[in-house]
Structures are given as structure tokens and as C-alpha cells.
Amino acid sequence: MRTGSRLLLVGLALACAALLPAAEIRVSGLGPLENLRARNNLQLLLGEQRRAALDASAIEDAALILFSQLTDEGHPAARITALITTTEGAQIEHGFDARLEHPLPRPLAAAALRFSVERGPRFLLRDIAFTGLQAVPPEAAREFFVGDTMLVTLASSRIYSPGRLNRALGNLQAELRQRGYAEATVTLGHLATDGATGRVDLSVVVQEGLPWRVAALHYEIADGSAPPDVLDPPDGAPWSSPWRQDVRTTLRRWYYQQGYPEVQIRLVPDAAPEAAGERRVTVTAHIAPGPQVRIGAINFTGNRHTHEPLLRRTVRIGPGELLNPIRVDFAQTRLARLGVFDRIEAVYTPGPDDTRDLDFVVSEGRRQEVNLLFGYGSYEQLRGGVELRHHNVFGRAQTASLRLVQSMKGSQAEHLHTVPELFGSAVDGSLRLFGLRREELAFLRQEYGASAALRWPLGRGRGHSLTTGYTFRQLRNTENELATRMSDAVRANAASVEIGWLRDQRDDPLRPRRGYQVFLQTEAASRWLGGDVDYQRLTLDTSYHTAWGRNRWVHAGFTHAVITTEGARPGAALPVNVRFYPGGDSSIRGYQRGEAAPRADNGQFIGAQSYMQLNLELEQALTSTLSAVVFVDALGTAVALGDYPFTEKLASVGLGLRYNTLIGPIRLEYGHNLNRRPLDPRGTVQFSVGFPF
């Protein structure tokens, strides 16, 4: 047979083998969901070993993978029995231990494999004793082994496995060395396990040694140049990895600014003998600056749809400048901020005369995407919709999105077009078209219009920005109650300019634990701007978050808003839509959305022209993902500006549970009303997603 024919037959055989179904793998004994998860993990980790028939090595590898997972979950004494169906139809039962001391017979070809698992007791850490530990409090050291101390301690945080134990010992040792105990060692002293109950007691032996304190910092520079004067004297700082990192970062940043991108820095300690219970360290910084480099050509690769002039304006560096890697990193950050690239890499290519060509290699992301929206709120109940997004419009990193949302209470449509780095500056622009139809408690709200806005970053501080904009809205309200119809306009066109200032210093906008936020917005509507009403609306919104003890936080929020009518025609009515209707999961939580608005004598709702709102919360973590809250909400409202700041006062107290997710906390809360008005509810159950303020 010719060689070509043989290759063809081999190729056909391989293709047929690839089309055959892979051998079946099943797991039992762990519960329905865990069985499925374990099976999927085995199929994924076996990879190419999972063929139409499994050989003995693949089955043993699968058993080892399963043993490793069980051990990490606290079941080191688990037993696994393999039920094997061979390709000839024979049945084989084989027991495994964690060491695989009894291998499978060979040769073996399995068409189906089922692992039957007996997990045995779950091994959990109970008593942990420390010997020789003084620099770290025992409670803090214990957290390296069992996690944070919570109000409710879960078994999953106390799992014992050799791997977890070794990591905990290493992390405690690293903590001591970061505190300056450069010779510290942490070892396992005694380990006692109860195979019947799974109880594990252990002792940890700590040899801290003496603390190392930095007494002086000297320099040895390869080219003989003067050392940079950018570091303060050490003044007894602990010899630790954070201190070393800070020193290297400060020196490297200075040399980068001078155009030395290849600078090498090595810190060498010289510890003196013990004196006064510590060792003083003299540190020598060995610095090799390398050549001074300038930027040659700047190129872009991978931008198939994005205009290159936009990219050159965005990076804000040019040929001939000193090569500063920090500025290059900032350029990459600005490119990423355009939102059209999945990957950005800066590549240096040596050029003549100590120059480096700079090539930004980018990978463009998807240009279109469709997102389905779904949610639930106590007032609007079920809501769902769709969002269509088109990225990199016109090749200029602009984004156009269309959002359509339908809930049990209303409909909403919005088209938003954003332009980053407008006119090559740091200012972002946006154009928005919107429509809203929603059933409020007091009336049927209808709003249609358009707005244009500019966002101006202020300084280099995170979360510090100014927003300016213009909005034209058609305001309509129908089916409104008698008290509202008598005092306010039913139809109006409002044209306004808005100025907003934001200062956000929270550690996490989705789940804040520390920091504060201040938001101030003014909105001025005038006939001179194209509308037919005149009013001014001012809103101040602040929040503050701080820790109180361990795994406990205090949250406070304050909101004040007021509407004035300076310049309005005598007798002109204020549009109902711009009044305030407080209440709901982000307001006073004893009421539904809008239910805390002032009431007329007949009980009908009237929008407020001024209100003040105070929210206070105490949050206690129960587990790493679940927390309980106690809150007090207070509200003061005024129907007319003459009653400023408020005439009516309401208050709610309540309890809640929060489950923390990647999109924010899922909240279930109940607010009880302390000073109810006639027709007010005793309280309200709120279900929502997101932090309240």
C-alpha cells in the first residue's frame, strides 16, 4: 500500500475516533448539585485524556483529582469506589485510597465510570494555641487559620486540610516579617485529629526573633552620579517588604522621570548585633541607572476600526520625549478608558542613539452587544427589558446605547450617545433622548425630552468631577388627584441648565465600608431657555461610612432638596413632575415609593417643595456574605416654600438582611412607622438591590 494511502487511512481513523462520544463519567454520594459540579470538574481537568474509552491512568488521575477536592473541603479520610464498565461490557469495582496504593489492572478500557464517594467526617479546626507569639494579638493570628471572626461562624471557615494549614502558617510568618521581624519563623507544634468526630486541635510555635529597625540608608550608584534627594531618613522604620517596596518605588519613579527606564535597584541590609532589644540595620541601595532613553516613533497596531488620530491625542506623549514608563502606563490607562479595547500592550523596540520606538498593540472588543435586563423592586415589582449597545461609533470610541424597560408600574425608553475625550480634552460629552410613563401614587407621570451634558474631571482625585448640561422636557401628568390639580400645572415644557458637583471618597461604591460622598446639583428652568416655566431646584446628597469595631459599620446619609420659583410669572403653577415624592427603599423605608409625600386634608398626596431626610444604619456582618442592619429614617417635608424647611415630620425604624453580591447587596428590609398619619401604613417590607445611600 502506498504511503499516501496509509496516511489517508490513519487520518480517517483519527477523524472517526474524534467523532465517537467520550466515555461517560458520573459521581454519586455528594448530593445532587455537588455530584454535578464534581463530574464537570473531572471532565474539564481530564482534558485530552477523556476519550471514547478511559484507560487506567486516566481513571487514577480522576480519582486523585477527586481526592484533592475532597481534602480541600475538609474530608481527608474520604473513601472512593470506582464502578467501571469496560468496552466489552464487563463490570469492575475498585476501591481507591488517597495514596493510590492499589493501582488498577492494566490494560483497561472503560466505556463508563462512576465514582461512589463516602466523605466521612468533616475535619474542622477547633482549638488553636500559640506559643511565643507577642507581636500579633492571638485573635488576629487566629484569623489566618479560620478567617475573620464573624457573629455567626460557618463551618466552611474552619475547614482543616494540610494545604490550608501550610498556607496559614506561611501567611502568619509573612505578617511577622512585614512588621520587621526579619528572622521570624512559624511552625506547627502539635496536631491532634479525631477521626470519629473530625475535631482538629493544633498548636503553633512562633519564634519571632528581634525586630529589625532601619537606622540609615546609603547609596552606591554605578555611574558615580549624585543620589536623588527624594527619601526622608528611615528614622527606625521596620525592615519589611512594604518599606523596601516603598523605597524602590520612590527611587524608580525618580529615575523614570529622568528618562532611565532600565534602572536596576537592589537593597542590601547590614544588621548590627542586638542592642536594646532590637537590631539596627544599615541599608545600601545599589543603583544601576542604565542609559538615558528618549522616545522614537510611536505606532499603533490592531486598531482596525479606531481612528489613529484619536489614539495619538489620547496617549498625550510624543516622539523625542524622555521615556518615562509611568507616563506610558498612564497612556495605556487613557486608551483603556475609551472603552473599546479588550487588551492594550506597550512594546518597546530599540532604535538608534538610545531611543526606543513605542508600539501600542491593541485588541478591539465587540462592537455590538445585547443585554437582557431583569429586576424586582417593592414598588415597581417585576421589571425587565433589553439594552442594545454599539461601541466605537464612527471609529472614534463613541458609544450609542438604547435601553427599553417595562415594569408593572411603567415604561421607560432611553437612547444615550457618549463621546469620551471630547475635542481631545479630558472632558466627556453625552447626548440623551428619553421617555418615561409611570404610575405614581398621586398621578400618572409622563416625561419626554432630550439632554446634553459635559463631565469635567477636577484635579487628579478619584471621584472628583463637575457635570454641566442642558435639558428640555415635556412634562405631563394625568389621573392626578384633586389636591394636586388645584395647585400645579398639568402640562408644561421645562428647559433647564444643570450643574452638578461630585466628591466620592468611598472605598467601594457598591458596598461602602469607609469614606464619604458629597453630591450637589442645581437645576434652573427658565422661559429664556426655551420652556414655559420658571423654577430652581437645589439638591444636596451626602453619605458617610465608618467601621465600629470588628465587622461592624455605621452608615449615615443626609439629603436636602428645595424648589424655588424666582422669576416665575405671578400665579404661574409649578409642574407636578418636579415636586418631591419621598418614600421607598432608598428614602424613608416605612413607606412605599412616594407614599411619604405630604397629604391634603382629604388624605390625597401632594408633592413637597422642600424636604430633609436623615438615614442612620448599624450594619453587623453575620458571615462573609450576609449581614444584618438596624436603621432609623427621619423625614421632614413642606408643601409650600413659605413653610421651609419643613412642617411635617415622619420617622421609621427597622431591621434588614443583606446578601452581598458582585452587583451590590440584595436587601430585604422592614421599616416600622413611628408617627403615622391617618391612612399611613404601619410599616412596609422593602426588597431591592443596591446600597440605599
DSSP notation for 360-379: EEEEE--SEEEEEEEEEETT
Asked if pLDDT for residue 21 goes beyond 70, the answer is no
- For range 195-202, the mean pLDDT: 92
In the chain, ranges of CATH 2.40.160.50 domains:
450-689
Cβ neighbours around 458 below 10 Å, total: 13
pLDDT, position 42: 87
pTM: 0.78
- Is the pLDDT score of 597 beyond 90? yes
Looking at every residue in the chain, the average pLDDT score rounds to: 90
Report the topology of domain 124-207: Ubiquitin-like (UB roll) (3.10.20)
Q: Which of 43-47, 137-141, 326-330, 455-459 has the lowest mean pLDDT?
A: 43-47
Q: How far apart (Å, rounded) are the C-alpha atoms in residues 622 and 657?
A: 10
Please tell me the predicted confidence (pLDDT) of residue 14.
39
Q: What does the pLDDT average to over 206-210?
A: 96
What is the pLDDT at residue 157?
Answer: 80
From the list 287, 286, 276, 184, the residue with the least C-alpha distance to 236 is 276
pLDDT of residue 15: 41
CATH number, domain 21-118, options 1.10.287, 3.30.2250, 3.10.20, 3.40.50: 3.10.20
Integer Cα distance of 180 and 261 in angstroms: 31
Provide the terminal-to-terminal Cα distance of the chain, rounded to the nearest Å. 80
pLDDT at 8 over 50: no
- Read off the pLDDT of each residue in 329-351 and give the average, rounded to a whole number: 93
Query: Which residues are bridge partners to 410 per DSSP?
Result: 438
Q: Is the pLDDT of residue 6 over 60?
A: no
Q: Residues near 30 by Cβ (< 8 Å), separated by ≥ 6?
A: 38, 117, 119
Give, for 491, the enclosing helix (H) or strand (E): strand 491-504
In one-letter notation, the amino acid at residue 250 is T
Q: Does residue 114 or residue 24 have the better pLDDT?
A: 114
pLDDT confidence of residue 478:
77
Residue 511 CB coordination number (10 Å): 18
- Reported confidence tier of residue 551, pLDDT bands at 50, 70, 90: confident
Span 623-635, mean pLDDT? 94
The DSSP letter of residue 424 is G
pLDDT at residue 267, as a whole number? 96
- Identify the bridge partners of residue 364 per DSSP, sorted by sequence position: 341
Q: Is the peptide bond before 645 cis (omega within 30 degrees of 0)?
A: yes
Q: For residue 41, what pLDDT is reported? A: 87
- Kindly report the CA angle at 331 between 326 and 334, in degrees rounded to 5? 130
Q: Is the dihedral of CA 341, 344, 350, 351 positive or negative?
A: positive
- DSSP string computed for 211-273: PEEEEEEEEEETT-PPPP------SSEE-SHHHHHHHHHHHHHHHHHTT-TT-EEEEEEEEEE
Write down the pLDDT at residue 460.
Answer: 63
Cα–Cα distance for residue pair 475/494, rounded to 1 Å: 7
Residue 107 DSSP label: S
How many residues make up the chain in this entry? 693
Per-residue confidence (pLDDT) for residue 9, from 0 to 100: 40
When pLDDT is averaged across residues 490-515 and rounded to a whole number, the result is 93
- For residue 114, the tally of other CB atoms under 10 A from its CB is 16
- Average pLDDT, integer, range 113-118: 94
Q: How far apart are CA 253 and CA 260, in angstroms?
A: 10
Indicate the class that CATH gives domain 450-689.
mainly beta
Provide the CATH number for the domain formed by 294-364 in this structure. Answer: 3.10.20.310
Q: What is residue 149's predicted lDDT score, i.e. its pLDDT?
A: 66
What 3-state class would DSSP assign to 495?
strand
DSSP structural state of residue 577: G
**Is the pLDDT score of 151 beyond 80?**
no
Contact 319, 299 (CB under 8 A): no
Residue pair 410/479 in contact (Cβ under 8 Å)? The answer is: no
On the question of pLDDT at 396 being above 60, the answer is: yes
The SS3 call for residue 325 is helix
Neighbours of 350 (CB within 10 A): 10
C-alpha cell read off for 13 = 481513523
Q: What is the reported pLDDT for 17?
A: 41
What's the pLDDT at 426?
80
pLDDT over 80 at 13, yes or no: no
How does pLDDT run across 411-463, given as a tens digit for each residue?
999 999 999 888 767 889 999 999 999 998 878 899 999 999 999 988 765 67
Give the C-alpha separation, 483 to 633, whole Å.
27
CATH number of 212-288: 3.10.20.310
Which H/E stretch holds residue 178? helix 162-178
What percent of the chain is predicted at pLDDT more than 90? Answer: 70
The CATH 3.10.20.310 domain(s) of the chain lie at: 124-207, 212-288, 294-364
Query: CA nearest 173: which of 247, 72, 241?
Result: 241
